[in-house]
Structure 1
Amino acid sequence: MSTAYQPLHHKYRPQRFDQLVGQEAIAATLGHALTSNRIAPAYLFSGPRGTGKTSSARILARSLNCLNSDGPTPEPCGTCELCTTIAAGTALDVIEIDAASNTGVDNIRELIERSRFAPVQARWKVYVVDECHMLSTAAFNALLKTLEEPPPQVVFVLATTDPQRVLPTILSRCQRFDFRRIPLDALEAHLSWIAEQEAIEIQPEAIHVVALRSQGGLRDAESLLDQLSLLPPPIEATAVWDLLGAVPEQELLQLVQAMSSAEPVALLEATRNLLDRGRDPGAVLQGLAGILRDLVLMAAAPDRPELTGVSPQFRDQLPPLAKALGRARLLQWQAQLRGSEQQLRQSVQPRLWLEVLLLGLLAEAPAAAPATSAPVTAAVPSQTAPAITPTPAVPAPSPTPSAAPATAPELPKVAPAAAEGAAPNLAELWQQILGSLELPSTRMLLSQQGQLVRLDANRAVVQVASNWMGMVQSRAALLEQAMAKALGGSRQLVLEASSGGAAPKVQPPPAAVVTPPVINTPSPTPEPTPPAQTRAAPAATPQLPEPVSQAPKPPEPKRPPANTSEPSGLDRQAKNLADFFNGQVLDMDNPEV
């Protein structure tokens, strides 16, 4: 009669503390407690799945009750009657309870009543409560007093994968041991040993992929190895990727190389090659995010390839690719990919959205190219200034000298500020900062109403139109985050108004000092409007920071205030819409417009 099949994670379950994989600190602590006979009434074993919590609870029960030892021992024999029955789960004095099936207070009361009886065969009665975080609050409260003062020769072991859901009063009554994820090297060594014991012909590259994809869980790694053993030998790494449904690293590197070429046709061919071979779009996106992370690490530390998660045979391809792309571009791609996985899951056409997303990454690369746009817009104010000076040909009374410096000096104020930010480096950095903004509305607002004028190691000075200062200040946190992404470090953000306030009044004093006695002669030159029109000046000043639309702005507000002293709600909405898009409101009934 053939014996029943035994899975690898059952067959190679550790039987002593020194056989635990990757939990040396916990094994040493519990072993010393057994040697010194300092047994706590309750233990809490917490950690990710498949890291040895339940196995450690059974080892502790065997160590307390081994018949070949006079007392607790860290090395149970594993052959006596109690050791074998505890390993098989049939011991009368070692009770394992699934808290997910026994969540009520009545189950815990029954457990407490049973714990009052003396052990039948063993020296210690051990209760193992697996997934204890599933117990109700009432069940936890019923267990409190028993955990603190249990009956003699009774030990409680609580195991959980979510210790945050365990009551603090329970945690305070237990000795807590946190099981960590098993390191990659320890996993590879243990899997190689199991493959040797089971005569499984598997390549080291395949073992590395198995250990990498198990994410520190020994049970998951052993189960995957057990599944791979059914394939015809020798087992290669590609077989592991195909079995997992993930995208191989070599194909992901080819996809990134296609993205680096900035050729849409090459990128579409590489993407459809993956999708046509059955790769899931979500798996492609996850693999791409992992490769981009590894490339960022290689760009920051080219001499530390062990920091990456790529297999050793592909690590030599990372440094040249990271150098060709650059850290700024890689970080920008990562920012664009953030949140796209949820969109793919909810979409009925994930293939289409994956292609659209990857093509959108190519559009971000040349976004930093229009660095010449800043010098062009900086020169516009100097050209629009003469266009405004001919308009004051209409004579006006002299009581408006105060209104003249409120509008005319603002034009030279914008020009020097723009000239300071007209350096190619500042303009290019400003475009990179705008590209790092996640909200399109904030990006459009700052591209039209703001510019980077000064930058040093500690501060970044951004000049903003005064009428948009409040809105930009409300989004200052987003702008600081975008600066940190684009510039590679945090800086203090300083917002300066480009018009209004005391800043425009700095330039009128030279004109007043040149001709102090003659005040009436220079006044007609900067006076563009009669007294009736000066009341419309505040409506025109918000548009002065925008250089392209300065010439047509003064005539536009002159006429409506003369006809309507109180604009209607529809007029105000139209004016706000025109201000947002840097345009103007045209009066179709007026033939002069």
Structure 2
Amino acid sequence: MAYEPLHHKYRPQTFSALVGQAAIATTLANALTQRRIAPAYLFCGPRGTGKTSSARILAKSLNCIAQDHPTPEPCGICETCRSITNGSALDFIEIDAASNTGVDNIRELIERAQFAPVQCRYKVYVIDECHMLSTAAFNALLKTLEEPPSNVVFILATTDPQRVLPTIISRCQKFDYRRIPLEPMIAHLRTIADKEAIAINDEALRLVAQVSQGGLRDAQSLLDQLSLLEPPIAADAVWDLVGAVPERDLLALVQAILSDNSTAVLDVARKLMDRGREPLIVLQNLAGFYRDLLIAQMAGDRHDLVAITPPTWAEMQTLVASLETKILLLGQQHLRSAEVQVKNTTQPRLWLEVTLLGLLPSTLAGQAGAIAPAPLSQILPQPAPPTAPPPQGIPQPPPSAAPPVDQPSSPASHGVPPTPAEPPAPPPPSELAPPDAGDLAGLWLRVIATLEPLGTRALMQQQGSLLFFDGVVARVGISSKPLFKMAQGRVENIEAAFQQVLGQKVQVSLEVLPDPKPEAPAPNISQATSQVTEYRPAPPPIAPPIAPSVVSPTPKPLETDSVVPISPPPPAPAEPSGLPAIASDFDRAVKNFAHFFNGQVVDVDDDPSLGIDKIPLKPSDAAAKQPSHPDRDVPF
């Protein structure tokens, strides 16, 4: 005869034989006694707690032919009971939902459910792990589950009820199976060990029940494996079989750690790994042992909460009696943070030893001091000392050092004399807000310092100024009309900077600053060029009348509403020794500029229609004179 595992051999056959589920057994037995059979049941709970066994017991109770009606105590020896037990009954159908997940499988089940039972009173469908059904399959089952034929009962079993549709749960009687308590499980395992003549001591048997974590099938399987070892079976055999670190070794390791003995810690860790323990398993078991130490310190009378034998539990209570809770909490936190490193490294033994040395009380004390909270004076921002308000209209750099922004190359590099920039004119006094200019300037500096990205910060620093702010609305002036449209796309960034500085939402509006009105007419550039090109060493020449001139084709300037005044060049120095160098530099720059546009410097005749005067040339350039062409603006 084939070998029968213990968890099959000792499967409960009646409701009274269910271990640790007294409430569920009583409810189902009373329902059978009162003939109140529900059309659908839902059994939920962890693995190995009796869900499938309860479904088979219910099926036998409904169909036992030893009596002419359903009974909570099936005989177990009639043809129907034996066929349901061995799975050969035609009217007892067990379906694995993991391999029958689709709508077609459920449709076939529904069609078969319409036929009457062959040899039993009730046709029982057991859908195991029903959470694996698809949503469409669940929906297809709804109507049949709510109103099945009178002789059909559905039993759904699952370990994950959260994945079952609420509409399915509402149509079933739900029973929640709990993990098997420790003492009933130990009593059941002792009964099995006595019947099977397994020589195992009480300490090892309790450890088997604790390691299984409330799953009776896991405990029976582990006991079945232990029965193959040489008797008597002790607790160390259980630890070796499950692959965990023995509790005595963990206790020795913790004692070495709490005694602040680094050499002893490394010796114990090395012995554990030499005996085949994986570094990650050692780390995880040690983290669990620290949890058991916390329970021993805070709830020493709750031995049922831990998987520790009584002698070791007594030593743990003695060990932590005079120990600070902070040391255990810091140690557990250190183990939790080091688990990822040990799991992913290529040198787990090395990092395990480093982690264990980090658990020494002296090391944890240093870490606790290092992570002590800083005083509020170092955390909260301190107000900046008052500074003098910057001049109105001139943008100031932000207080924090910002990365340098690349500036365009100087016009002088292309042969064009640089044009001095003029600061934007201040807004009219009527447009200023009630607060003084100092407050507005300081607030604007703080806003610029927090502006992101850096391009927006540079744009507002060079072209923007704060005109008005009342706590809700801020008006920002832009000094350049061509850049106004670009600035409008950055309004959200400016509002975000205001909110970061003030802690409240501010509405920002932009406007173009009015054009500056020059007090005197700007001198023409031809005056400067004439003075330079007409230089004669001695005597100094008389400057010709001021007239507009065209020297060479120049790139079209930016369209602005204001005329940028050009200051006249400084007067010629008294010493004539420096002027020839200036003239030669200017000539070379003009020629380079003309060569850049594939042109040449020519003399232009007077043309009243164009308003162009003749540019005096040096005698050396007279031979290069070309006839004028009034039909084009710039001669080449």
Q: TM-score, normalised by structure 1?
A: 0.64
- Contact kept, 8 Å, 2:327 with 2:364, in 1: the verdict is no
Q: Does 1:464 align with 2:377?
A: yes
Name the SS for the 1:361 alignment partner: coil
Flag structure 2 segments of 5+ consecutive residues without an equivalent. 391-395, 402-453, 458-636
Task: State how far apart, in whole Å, the 1-side matches of 2:150 and 2:335 are.
Answer: 58
**Distance in 2 of aligned mates of 1:119 and 1:433:** 75
Which of residues 132, 135, 146 is equivalent to 1:134? 132
Tell me the residue number matched to 2:52.
Answer: 54
Q: What code does the residue aligned with 1:90 have?
A: S
Deviation per residue, 1:514-552 (Å, 9 max, x gap):
xxxxxxxxxxxxxxx9999xx99x889xxxxxxxxxxxx
Partner amino acid, structure 1, of 2:112:
R
Q: CA deviation at 1:124?
A: 0.5
Deviation sequence 1:20-53 (CA, Å, 0-9, x none): 0111111011011111111110001111111111
Q: d(CA) in 1 for partners of 2:305 and 2:221?
A: 27
Which of 179, 183, 193 is equivalent to 2:191? 193
Query: 8 Å contact 1:99–1:135 — kept in the other structure?
Result: yes
CA positional deviation for 1:432 = 3.7
Is 1:221 the counterpart of 2:219? The answer is yes
Displacement of 1:348 in angstroms is 2.2
Q: CA deviation at 1:236?
A: 1.1
Q: Could you state the TM-score of these two structures normalised by the residue count of structure 2?
A: 0.59
The answer on whether the counterparts of 2:63 and 2:121 sit within 8 Å (CA) in structure 1 is: yes
- Cα pair distance change 1:302/1:92, threshold 3 Å: closer
Q: In structure 2, do the counterparts of structure 1 residues 171 and 367 end up closer, same or farther at CA, with 3 Å as the change threshold?
A: closer
Q: Which runs of 4+ in 1 moved over 6 A?
A: 529-532
Partner of 1:91, secondary structure, is coil
Distance 1:172 1:97 in 2: 21
Q: CA deviation at 1:294?
A: 1.6
Residue 325 of structure 2 is matched in structure 1 by 327
Residues 1:152 and 2:35 are matched in the alignment = no
Q: 1:92 aligns with which of 90, 103, 116?
A: 90
Partner of 1:240: 238
* 1:207-356 correspondence runs (5 A): 207-356=205-354
Q: Residue by residue, what CA displacement relative to the aligned partner does 1:369-409 show, whole Å, maximum 9, x if unpaired?
A: 6xxxxxxxxxxxxxxxxxxxxxxxxxxxxxxxxxxxxxxxx
Q: How far apart are the structure 2 equivalents of 1:367 and 1:53?
A: 47
Cα deviation 1:332-384 (Å, max 9, x = unaligned): 1111112433332222222122111111222x645546xxxxxxxxxxxxxxx
Confirm or deny: 8 A CA contact 2:211 2:307 kept in the other structure: no
Q: Bigger CA drift: 118-127 or 330-339? A: 330-339
Who is 1:500 aligned against? 383
DSSP-derived class of the 2:359 partner: helix
SS of equivalent residue, structure 1 residue 27: helix
Change (3 A) 1:263 1:206: same
Change (3 A) 1:200 1:84: same
Q: Does structure 2 retain, via aligned residues, the 8 Å contact 1:203–1:236?
A: yes
Q: CA deviation at 1:168?
A: 1.0
What does residue 179 of structure 2 align with? 181
In the TM superposition, residue 54 of structure 1 has moved relative to its aligned partner by 0.6
- Summarize the Cα distance change of 1:302–1:185 in structure 2 as closer, same or farther, 3 Å threshold: closer
Structure 2 partner of 1:101: 99
- Could you say what secondary structure the match of 1:77 adopts? coil
C-alpha separation between the residues in 1 aligned to 2:144 and 2:34? 24
Superposition deviation, residue 282 in structure 1: 2.1
Question: Which residue does the alignment assign to 1:79?
Answer: 77
**CA contact 2:287–2:336 (8 Å) conserved in 1:** no
Per-residue CA deviations over 1:421-480 (Å, capped at 9, x if unaligned) read xxxxxxxxxx84754xxxxxxx7xx5xxx22xxxxxxxxxxx233xx536xxxxxxxxxx
CA distance in 2, matches of 1:303, 1:65: 48
Compared with structure 1, are the counterparts of its residues 357 and 368 closer, same or farther at alpha carbon in structure 2 (3 Å cutoff)?
A: closer
Higher RCO (C-alpha under 8 Å, 6+ residues apart): 1
1:394-473 matches, cutoff 5 A = 432=368, 435=371, 450-451=374-375, 463-465=376-378, 468-469=379-380
Q: Which has the larger radius of gyration?
A: 2
Go from structure 1 to structure 2 and tell me whether the alpha carbon gap of 1:280 and 1:531 turns closer, same or farther (over 3 Å shift): same
Which amino acid in 2 is paired with 1:69? Q
Distance of aligned partners of 1:57 and 1:433 in 2 relative to their CA distance in 1, 3 Å threshold: farther
Q: CA RMSD in A?
A: 2.6
Instruction: State how many pairs are aligned.
Output: 398
| CA-CA distance at 1:309 after TM superposition | 3.0
Q: How far apart, CA to CA, are the structure 1 residues paired with 2:202 and 2:236?
A: 12
Shift of 1:301: 3.3
Query: Relative to structure 1, is the Cα distance of residues 539 and 98 closer, same or farther in structure 2, using a 3 angstrom cutoff?
Result: closer
Q: Which amino acid aligns with 2:186?
A: E
Per the alignment, do residues 367 and 286 of structure 1 end up closer, same or farther by CA in structure 2, a change over 3 Å counting?
Answer: closer
State the alpha-carbon separation in 2 of the partners of residues 284 and 294 from structure 1: 15
For residues 224 and 24 of structure 2, the distance between their equivalents in structure 1, rounded to whole angstroms, comes to 27
Structure 1 residues 265-306: Cα deviation after superposition (integer angstroms, max 9, x where no partner): 111111111111111222212221121112112222345444
Residues 309-330 of structure 1: per-residue CA shift (max 9 Å, x gap):
3111211101221134321100
**C-alpha distance in 2 between matches for 1:228 and 1:298:** 29
